[in-house]
């Protein structure tokens, strides 16, 4: 078996993983990143909109500051975030954007003079200042008081990731792609590296490292319908949970986007509704005004997703071979508007659906989009539970998003957290030495080897991996989707426990040789079901509604009892996660107040007389 030694092992080569890697490599340490796919295919490349930083360069961003950004972020989190971390993030975001500019990102820049823009379908005029010419400009995004989202046309994630990877190449960071981490090597106290399967040859490898970082992105693929890449299946979270000592934070906080297209769940922008698009049901009736007479389609992401789901539950969805959906109607906006202001949507419709949105309705449904939960870390990015283990990016619960992430804050998080956590990793590497007990390393690898043998020889059963996965999808979608309630969640948890047992009895139908995809899924699936159980069990226990977590039977946000973060650990062999709680924040720069969207009652932390 091949064994690799390195100072820092980054599991994940998206923006977060590579940003941390660069910090350590620049300090002279040896760094290896692992990735399921070539680094540049990581999901970070798919983000089009942009990333937030209070630069205040453009006209509509005038007067912006990290303070205003901080307030938006805390409100957006529905007071579920760690305010110390949110502060750290907002203060450092401008530095991170400027650094990216120095490294080569072709940010769009301020062009002085008058120009027009749309808001709520109406035309307005603005004037950019001469003295700001050539500085990084910004666009508007939901939930921000100022225009703050830096961008490069409609390819922000792409250009930023390519620049980051260029920098990694320059500094000699090794990226081993087409590999998958299967488990962490640890002794219950120290993390020492990972057991990894090569997805080109199917062989196992061992990586030994003084510091290990989990930066594997979101876990959207435990849901059937997700805007996430097909590789976002929570691999990093699974190996953390499987240590039995590293907790995952707030797994029940899952964000849904109203308009994923059917069948492939590719995202079409909120801009469609912003510019006047409407949602129709199977009778081509516009239903949003029935539920939200004032804001209709322009209510917040979470609210619209909830009503869409409710409406489909009333039997008013459009049936299709891929399940029920609704229609998005932007025909009335006209060809010119579509070809200029909604170019990306126009292309998605033509490329993936083969329809013309100026003439046809677009099939859409609410779709899983972002996971606020992840490996719980402190403000330095150090995971709870094991020494030498760090985490950053969407895989981490650092926790500046709380229960609802603002658009443009997650891409920024990857580089800002990467910068901050990277510096802490460097400190750690300077101070700590480790030794690798050979027996422990051998056992960790043997355990994975044994799993592979048993799957191929059908030693534990003959369950079909795809059937079991579909049962997980059904249970989650039904019980722990957009709307949640005690009864459905209980059923969901129970079903998922049965699915978990079946997931441990999978037998392969193919021969499992080489880069076999059935084997890869079979190795991952039991862990995915455990993640699903953390989501469902966490949601069942949390008897309140906060941010994206909406309980029909507990519609109020309950600051009295639930101003806490869920911490889920999994004892080896246990049927369910163990849940503990910690206060969401040690610091309260802004005390809990109105969230400013979606309405709903609040039970205050200190009940007033």
Partner 1 sequence: MARNLTFSIFRYNPQDPVSVPHTDTFVLDETNHMTLFIALNRIREEQDPGLQFDFCCRAGICGACAMVVNGRPGLACHTKTKDLPDAITLMPLPFFTLVGDLSVDTGTWFRNMAQRVRSWVHTDKEFDPKALEERMDNAVAEEIYELERCIECGCCVAACGTAIMRPDFLGAAGLNRLARFVLDPRDKRTEQDYFDIVGNDQGIFGCMGLLACEDVCPKHLPLQDQLGMLRWKMGWAGIMNLLPWKRK
Contact 338, 357 (CB under 8 A): yes
515 near ligand FAD, rule: CB under 6 A: no
Three-state DSSP at 116 gives strand
Our CB check for partner 1 shows the closer of 204 and 434 to be 204
Our CB check for ligand FAD shows the closer of 11 and 429 to be 11
d(CA 217, CA 398): 13
Residue 107 interface partner, choices partner 1, ligand FAD, none, CB cut-off 5-8 Å depending on type: partner 1
**Site residue total, partner 1 (CB under 8 A):** 75
Residue 153 interface partner, choices partner 1, ligand FAD, none, CB cut-off 5-8 Å depending on type: partner 1
Q: Which of 155, 235, 249, 388 binds ligand FAD (CB under 6 A)?
A: 235
What is the closest distance, in whole angstroms, from the C-beta atom of residue 441 to ligand FAD in the complex?
18
Compute CA distances 413 → 267, 398, 475, 585, whole Å: 21, 9, 31, 18
Per-residue tokens: 375? 């490996």
d(CA 383, CA 207): 19
Site string for ligand FAD, 167-206 (x = CB under 6 A): ------------xxx-------------------------
Secondary structure letter of residue 351 according to DSSP? I
Of residues 131-160, those binding ligand FAD (CB under 6 A): 157
Contact 31, 232 (CB under 8 A): no
177 near partner 1, rule: CB under 8 A: yes
| Annotated catalytic residue within 257, 325, 369, 595 | 257
Three-state DSSP at 564 gives strand
Residue 217 interface partner, choices partner 1, ligand FAD, none, CB cut-off 5-8 Å depending on type: ligand FAD
Helix (H) or strand (E) holding 274, with range, is helix 271-274
Q: Which of 7, 8, 9, 14 binds ligand FAD (CB under 6 A)?
A: 14
Cα torsion at 504, 509, 515, 520 (round to 10°)? -20
394 near ligand FAD, rule: CB under 6 A: yes
Our CB check for partner 1 shows the closer of 320 and 589 to be 320
Q: Which of 56, 217, 363, 385 binds ligand FAD (CB under 6 A)?
A: 217
Secondary structure letter of residue 332 according to DSSP? G
Compute CA distances 318 → 212, 257, 330, 367, whole Å: 47, 18, 17, 16
**Site residue total, ligand FAD (CB under 6 A):** 45
511 near partner 1, rule: CB under 8 A: yes
228 near ligand FAD, rule: CB under 6 A: yes
Helix (H) or strand (E) holding 502, with range, is helix 486-503
Q: Which residue has the tokens 């209510």?
A: 299
| Annotated catalytic residue within 19, 273, 311, 595 | 273
Piece in contact with ligand FAD (CB under 6 A), picked from 85-93, 100-108, 162-170, 229-237: 229-237
361 near partner 1, rule: CB under 8 A: no
46 near ligand FAD, rule: CB under 6 A: yes
* Bridge partner residues of 4 (DSSP): 207
**Bond preceding residue 263 cis, omega within 30 of 0:** yes
Cα torsion at 539, 545, 548, 550 (round to 10°)? 70
65 near partner 1, rule: CB under 8 A: no
Piece in contact with ligand FAD (CB under 6 A), picked from 104-112, 209-217, 332-340, 546-554: 209-217
* Bridge partner residues of 19 (DSSP): none
User: For this structure, is 365 an active site residue?
Assistant: no
Q: Which of 44, 300, 404, 545 binds ligand FAD (CB under 6 A)?
A: 44
Conformational region of residue 69, where left means phi above 0, alpha means psi within -120 to 50, and beta covers everything else: alpha
Of residues 120-139, those binding partner 1 (CB under 8 A): 133-137
Q: Which of 6, 8, 9, 12 binds ligand FAD (CB under 6 A)?
A: 12
272 near ligand FAD, rule: CB under 6 A: no
Contacts of 102 (CB under 8 A, 6+ apart): none
Residue 169 interface partner, choices ligand FAD, partner 1, none, CB cut-off 5-8 Å depending on type: partner 1
User: For this structure, is 306 an active site residue?
Assistant: no
393 near ligand FAD, rule: CB under 6 A: yes
For residue 561, how many other CB atoms are within 10 A of its CB? 11
Phi and psi angles of residue 55, each rounded to the nearest 5 degrees, phi first? -90, -30
Q: Which residue has the tokens 């997650």?
A: 410
**Which residues are tagged catalytic?**
257, 273
């Amino acid at each position: 078996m091949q064994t690799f030694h390195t100072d820092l092992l980054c599991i994940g080569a998206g923006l977060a993983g590579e940003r941390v890697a660069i910090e350590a490599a620049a300090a002279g340490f040896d760094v290896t990143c692992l990735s399921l796919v070539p680094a540049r295919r990581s999901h970070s490349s798919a983000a089009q909109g942009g990333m937030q930083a209070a630069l205040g360069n453009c006209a509509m961003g005038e007067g912006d500051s990290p303070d205003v950004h901080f307030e938006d972020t805390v409100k957006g989190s529905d007071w579920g975030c760690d305010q110390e971390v949110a502060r750290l993030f907002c203060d450092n975001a401008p530095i991170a954007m400027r650094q990216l500019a120095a490294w080569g990102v072709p940010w769009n820049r301020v062009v002085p003079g008058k120009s027009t823009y749309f808001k709520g379908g109406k035309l307005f005029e603005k004037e950019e200042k001469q003295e700001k010419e050539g500085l990084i400009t910004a666009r508007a995004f939901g939930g921000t008081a100022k225009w703050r989202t830096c961008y490069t046309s409609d390819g922000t994630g792409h250009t930023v990731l390519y620049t980051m990877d260029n920098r990694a190449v320059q500094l000699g960071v090794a990226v081993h792609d087409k590999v998958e981490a299967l488990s962490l090597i640890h002794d219950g106290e120290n993390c020492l590296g990972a057991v990894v399967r090569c997805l080109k040859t199917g062989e196992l490898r061992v990586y030994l490292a003084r510091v290990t970082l989990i930066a594997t992105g979101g876990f959207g693929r435990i849901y059937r319908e997700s805007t996430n890449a097909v590789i976002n299946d929570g691999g990093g979270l699974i190996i953390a949970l499987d240590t039995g000592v590293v907790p995952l934070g707030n797994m029940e906080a899952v964000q849904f986007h109203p308009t994923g297209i059917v069948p492939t769940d590719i995202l079409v922008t909120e801009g469609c509704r912003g510019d006047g698009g409407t949602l129709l049901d199977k009778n081509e009736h516009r239903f949003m005004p029935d539920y939200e007479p004032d804001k209709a389609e322009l209510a917040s992401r979470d609210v619209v997703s909830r009503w869409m789901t409710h409406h489909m539950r009333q039997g008013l969805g459009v049936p299709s071979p891929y399940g029920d959906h609704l229609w998005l109607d932007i025909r009335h906006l006209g060809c010119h508007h579509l070809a200029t202001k909604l170019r990306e949507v126009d292309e998605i419709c033509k490329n993936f659906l083969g329809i013309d949105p100026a003439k046809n309705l677009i099939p859409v449904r609410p779709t899983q989009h972002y996971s606020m939960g992840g490996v719980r870390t402190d403000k330095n990015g150090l995971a709870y539970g094991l020494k030498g283990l760090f985490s950053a990016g969407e895989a981490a619960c650092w926790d500046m998003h709380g229960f609802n992430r603002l658009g443009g804050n997650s891409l920024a998080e990857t580089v800002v957290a990467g910068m901050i956590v990277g510096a802490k990793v460097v400190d750690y590497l300077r101070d700590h030495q480790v030794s690798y007990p050979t027996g422990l390393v051998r056992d960790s690898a043997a355990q994975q080897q044994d799993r592979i043998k048993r799957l191929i020889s059908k030693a534990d059963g003959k369950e079909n991996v795809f059937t079991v996965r579909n049962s997980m999808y059904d249970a989650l979608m039904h019980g722990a989707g957009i709307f949640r309630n005690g009864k459905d969640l209980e059923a969901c948890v129970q079903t998922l426990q049965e699915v978990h047992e079946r997931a441990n009895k999978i037998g392969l139908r193919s021969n499992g040789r080489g880069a076999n995809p059935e084997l890869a899924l079979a190795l991952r699936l039991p862990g995915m079901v455990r993640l699903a159980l953390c989501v469902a069990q966490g949601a069942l226990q949390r008897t309140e509604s906060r941010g994206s977590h909406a309980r029909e039977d507990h519609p109020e946000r309950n600051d009295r009892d639930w101003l806490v973060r869920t911490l889920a650990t999994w004892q080896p062999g246990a049927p369910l996660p163990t849940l503990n709680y910690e206060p969401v924040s040690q610091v309260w720069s802004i005390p809990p107040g109105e969230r400013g969207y979606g309405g709903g009652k609040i039970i205050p932390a200190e009940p007033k007389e």
